[in-house]
Amino acid sequence: MAKRENFSSKIGAILVAAGSAVGLGNIWRFPVETGQNGGAAYIIIYIACIIVLGIPIMMSEFLIGRNTHSNTAGAYQKLAPNTQWKWVGRLGVLSGFLIYCYYSVVAGWTLEYAGLAIGNQFEGKQIEDFKLIFADFSADPVLPIVFMAVFFLATHFIVVKGVKDGIERFSKMMMPALFVITVVLVICSVNLPKAGAGIDFLLHPDFSKLNGGTVLNAMGQAFFSLSLGLGCLCTYASYFDKDTNLLKTTFSVCGIDTAIAILAGFIIFPAVFNAGMSLSPEDVGPSLIFITLPSVFQEAFVSAPVIGYVFSIMFYLLLILASLTSTISMLEVVNAYVHEEFHIKRSTSALIVTLVCMFFGVFCALSFGVLRDFTICGMTVFGLFDYVASNILLPVGGMCISIFAGWKLNGRIFYSELTNDGCLRAPYLKVVRFMLRYIIPPAIALVLLNMIGVF
Ligand code: PHE
C-alpha cells in the first residue's frame, strides 16, 4: 500500500481541523440557539462548555489519531487490540456517514440561495414571499437533489485529490477567505442604523432566561460545532506530523470555531433587530437563514440596495465555503475507514462512499416534499438521520472517547503524545485527565438523557 500522507505544515493542520469545525453549526445553528436561549447568557454558558468539555475531548481525539496514524476504527484497534473499543471508532464512522447524508442537503440549499442572491431574486420581496420560495424549493422533487449532488461531487473531487493536495490545499485557501468575508459582513451589519439593540442582545446577559435546558443545549451545540465525538478530528490528526503541537492546535481550533460562531451572531442579530423583527422562536428557528435573513437583508439595505445585493451574495458564499470544509471532513472520516480497513484504493473507496451517501441523501432531500409523510418513529428520513447522529451518536461517541482517554489509555501515551515526548510543558494536563475521568462522562450522560427526552 502507498505510503500514508501527512499534512505538510502546522498551519495546514490547524486550518483543516478548523475547517471541519467551522460550518453550518456556527453560522446557522449557533445564532438560532443564541436567539432562542436569550442571547449573551447563552454565549457565556456555551464558552464554558467549550472549555470544560470541548478542549479535553479534542485533545483526546488528536492524541489518539496522531499516535496511531490510522483511521478512527483502526486507531482503537491499535491502542486496545482485541477489545470492543473498536466499536467506538466504527460508531464514529456511522455518525460521519449519517451527518454527511443530511448535511449535504442543507449545504445544497445554500447553493440555490447563492444563485438566487446572484440573480438579485430577493429584491423587493417580503417575508411572506420568502416563506413561499423556501417551501416551494425545499418541496421540489428535483432541484434540491441536483444541488445536493453538486455538493457531494465537489466534496468528492477535493478528497480524491489527496490529503495534502486536496484537503489541506483547499482548507488553506478557503479558511482565510471565510474569515475575511465574516469580518466584512460583521462590519456592514454593526454599522446599520438600528444595530444597537442587536449588539446589546449579544453583549448584555439576561440570566433570567437560563435554565437547565439551556445548559444542556449549549453542550450539544459545542459538540456539533467542534465536530467532536465521531472521529473526524481523530482521522485528521492521523495525518499530523510527530512535531505538531497538539495542545496549540486544540486551542487554535476551539478559538477559531468559537470566534466565527460569535461573529456570525454579530452578522445576524444587528441586522435582525435593525429590521425591527421581534425575536419570536419562528423567526430565529431553523428557517432563519433561508426565510428570515433574506428578508432582513432586504430591509436592512433598503436605502443602499447595491450593498444589500453584495452582502447577500457574500453571506451565502460564506455558508457554502464553511459547509464545504466541513463536508470534506465527513467524507474523509468514512473514506479513510473504507480505504484502510477494506484495502480498497483511495479513489475507489471515496467513490463508493460518495455514491452510497448520495443515495441516502436523496431520501433526506425528499423529506421536505414527496417523502414528507414517509416517517420512521414519527420522523422523516432527514429528521431521523439528524436525530440519531447529532442527538445520540455524537454524545455517546464523545463519552466513550473521554472514558477511553481518561481510563483505558496508558497514562504514559497520554502525557507523552500531548507533550511531544516531554518537549512541551503543560502542567495542566493532570486537570485535563481528571476531567476526562470524572467530569465529562457524567456531564455527557446528562446531555444524552436530556436529548432523548428523559427530562
Ligand atoms: N462542525 C460542523 C459545523 O459546525 C459540523 C460537523 C459535525 C462536521 C460533525 C464534521 C463532523 O457545521
Residue 46 has pLDDT above 90, yes or no: yes
Q: What share of the chain is helix, strand, coil (3-state, %, to 5)?
A: 75, 0, 25
Cell of 249: 492546535
C-alpha cell at 87: 466499536
pLDDT grade for 279, boundaries at 50, 70 and 90: low
Question: Of residues 334 and 131, which shows the higher confidence score?
Answer: 334
**Cα dihedral sign for 358, 361, 365, 369?**
positive
For the chain, give the mean pLDDT.
92
Q: Are 33 and 193 within 8 A, CB to CB?
A: no
Q: Give distance in angstroms: CA of 104 to centre of ligand 1.
A: 11
Spatial separation of the C-alpha atoms in residues 322 and 176, rounded to whole Å: 11
404, 68 in Cβ contact below 8 A?
Answer: no
> Does residue 212 surpass a pLDDT of 80?
no
Helix (H, G, I), strand (E, B) or coil at 179: helix
Residue 317 CA to residue 382 CA, distance in Å, equals: 24
DSSP 105-127: HHHHHHHHHHHHHHTTTTTT--H
What DSSP designation does 337 have? H
Q: Check whether 219 has a pLDDT greater than 70.
A: yes
Rounded mean pLDDT, 415-427: 95
Kindly state the cell numbers that stand for 86: 473498536
Q: Contact, 105 vs 373, CB < 8 A?
A: no
Residues with CB under 6 A from ligand 1: 20-21, 23-26, 99, 224-225, 227, 230, 232, 326, 329-330
CA 450, CA 168: separation in Å to the nearest integer? 37
Task: Residue 84: count other Cβ atoms within 10 Å of its Cβ.
Answer: 8
High-pLDDT (> 90) share of the chain, %:
75
Residue 216 alpha carbon to ligand 1 centre in Å: 18
Using the mean position of ligand 1's atoms as its centre, give its distance from the Cα of residue 118 in Å.
Answer: 27
Asked if residues 13 and 249 have their Cβ atoms less than 8 Å apart, the reply is yes
H-helix segments, 226-304: 232-237, 246-274, 292-300
The least confident of 25-29, 183-187, 216-220, 351-355 is 216-220
Which residue from 319, 329, 334 has its CB within 8 A of the most atoms of ligand 1, so it is best to mutate?
Answer: 329
Segment (H or E) for 128: helix 127-139
Mean pLDDT in residue range 284-293: 78
Distance from Cα 21 to the centre of ligand 1, integer Å = 5
Stretch 63-89: mean pLDDT, rounded?
A: 96
What is the average per-residue pLDDT within 58-71? 97
Find cell 499534512 and name the residue.
7
Residues 6+ apart with CB under 8 A from 445: 399
d(CA 11, CA 254) in angstroms, rounded, equals 14
Q: DSSP per residue over 339-371, as a string? A: HHHTT--HHHHHHHHHHHHHHHHHHHHGGGTTT
Q: What is the pTM of this model?
A: 0.94
Helices 143-160 & 346-365 angle (0-180, nearest 10): 160
Whether the CB-CB separation of 6 and 164 falls below 8 Å is answered with yes
Of the candidates 374, 375, 366, which has an alpha carbon nearest to the alpha carbon of residue 145? 366
**270 CA distance to ligand 1 centroid (A)?**
25
* Atom number in ligand 1 closest to CA 323: 12
155 touches 324 (CB < 8 A) = yes
Whether pLDDT at 145 is above 60: yes
CB atoms within 10 A of CB 337: 26
Q: Using CB atoms within 10 Å of the CB of residue 344, give its burial: 0 to 12 exposed, 13 to 18 middle, 19+ buried.
A: middle
